[in-house]
Amino acid sequence: MIAVRRPDEHSPIGVFDSGVGGLTVLRALRAVLPERRFIYLGDTARLPYGTKSAESVARYSVQCAEALVARGIGCLVVACNTASASALEALRARYAHIPVIGVIEPGAAAAVAASRSGHVAVIGTEGTIGGGAYQAALRRLSPDVRVAAQACSLFVAMAEEGWVDGPIAESVARRYLEPMFSAVATPYGVPYRVPYGVPDTLVLGCTHFPVLVPAIRAVLPVGVTIVDSAASVAAVVAREAALSSEPSGKLKTADGGVQWLATDGAQRFARVSSVFLGHALRADEIEIIDL
C-alpha cells in the first residue's frame, strides 16, 4: 500500500508515457500551468507500448503511476495513447484521490467540438488506430460522426530523428494523408468538395505527432482543423487544477520546474527530447528508476 498524501495546488503534476512522445503533452501543460511543478516519467525500458498486449500495458501503467503517486503528485496525466486506451479506468479506480486524465477523451472531445461537417480524420500509431480507441471515443461523444482513420507508422521515427519539416517529411505526410483527403478534387486548380467526402478535422492521435505539424499542415487541404491532443489535455488539466486549487492572492510567476525520470537510456532520452521540448536536456538531469 502506498502512502497517500493529500494533493494540493503545490503538489506536482505527474505525467507518464512509454518514452519521449509525452513530452509534447508536458510542454503544452507547462505553457498553461507555468508555475506548477511536474514530474515526467518515460518508461523507456519497455517502449513501445503500442505492440504490447493490453494486460501488459495496464500492468506497466500501474507501475508508472505508482512511482509518481509515491512522489506525491496531485494529478496524474497519462500522456500515452496506448496506456490511455488500456489502463485509464483501472488507474482511476486505483487512484481515486487525484484526477487521472488520459489523452484520448480530450482529443476526441476537441475534434467533435471543432468539426462542422461531423466528419473527422484521426491518425496515430498502428496500435492506436488498429485498437480503435479514438474511433470509439468519437462515436461515444457524437454517435453520427463519420471517422476516417490512418496509421502513420513512419511519423514516430521521423519525429524522434528530428525530421519534422522539409521535403522528406512532407512526402511522407502526403503519402499517408492524401488518400483520406483526396475526395477534395482540384481538377482545374479549384478545390471541389465531394459530398460526404472529406473530413474537416484531423486529430493527432499520437503524442509524437505535434512536432510534425509543419509537414502535416503543408499537405492538408486548406480549412482542415488540426486537433492536437496535447493542447486538449492541457486545457482539461488546467480546468481540474483551477477547480481543485484554493483561491490564492499571491502572484505566481516562478517556473515550477520538472523532475525527470526514465527507466532506461538517459543519453538517448536527453538527445531525442530536444525535438519535443524545444530545448536540450542533459543526461545527468534524468534519474533512472527501476519499476
164 lies in the binding site for a copy of itself (CB under 8 A): no
Q: At what angle do helices 104-114 and 229-244 cross, to 10 degrees?
A: 110
208 lies in the binding site for a copy of itself (CB under 8 A): no
219 lies in the binding site for a copy of itself (CB under 8 A): no
82 lies in the binding site for a copy of itself (CB under 8 A): no
Q: Which of 73, 122, 156, 215 binds a copy of itself (CB under 8 A)?
A: 156
Q: For residues 46 and 276, give the distance between their C-alpha atoms in angstroms, rounded to a whole number.
A: 20
The cell numbers describing 34, all together, are 507555468
35 lies in the binding site for a copy of itself (CB under 8 A): no
User: For a copy of itself, what does the binding mask look like between residues 220 and 259, x meaning CB under 8 A?
Assistant: ----------------------------------------
Residue closer to a copy of itself by CB (options 37, 52) is 52
- Nearest to 14, CA basis, from 277, 274, 271, 241: 241
The size of the interface with a copy of itself (CB under 8 A), counted in residues, is 23
User: For a copy of itself, what does the binding mask look like between residues 259 and 288, x meaning CB under 8 A?
Assistant: -----xx--x--------------------
75 is catalytic: no
206 is catalytic: yes
Q: Which of 20, 26, 47, 211 binds a copy of itself (CB under 8 A)?
A: 47
Buried/exposed 171-199: b ≥16 CB within 10 Å, e otherwise = ebbbebbeebbebbeeeeeeeeeeeeebb
Q: What one-letter code names the amino acid at 25?
A: V
Q: Which of 175, 239, 252, 282 binds a copy of itself (CB under 8 A)?
A: 175
Q: For residues 154 and 159, give the distance between their C-alpha atoms in angstroms, rounded to a whole number.
A: 9
Q: How many CB atoms lie within 10 A of CB 113?
A: 13
Which stretches of 228-265 are DSSP H helices? 229-244
58 lies in the binding site for a copy of itself (CB under 8 A): no
Which runs of E-coded beta strand occur in the chain?
13-17, 38-42, 75-78, 100-101, 119-124, 146-151, 184-185, 192-193, 201-204, 225-228, 258-262, 286-288
- In the complex, the residues that contact a copy of itself under the rule CB under 8 A are 44-45, 47, 51-53, 126, 153-154, 156-158, 160-161, 163, 167-168, 171-172, 175, 264-265, 268
Q: Which residues are catalytic?
A: 80, 206
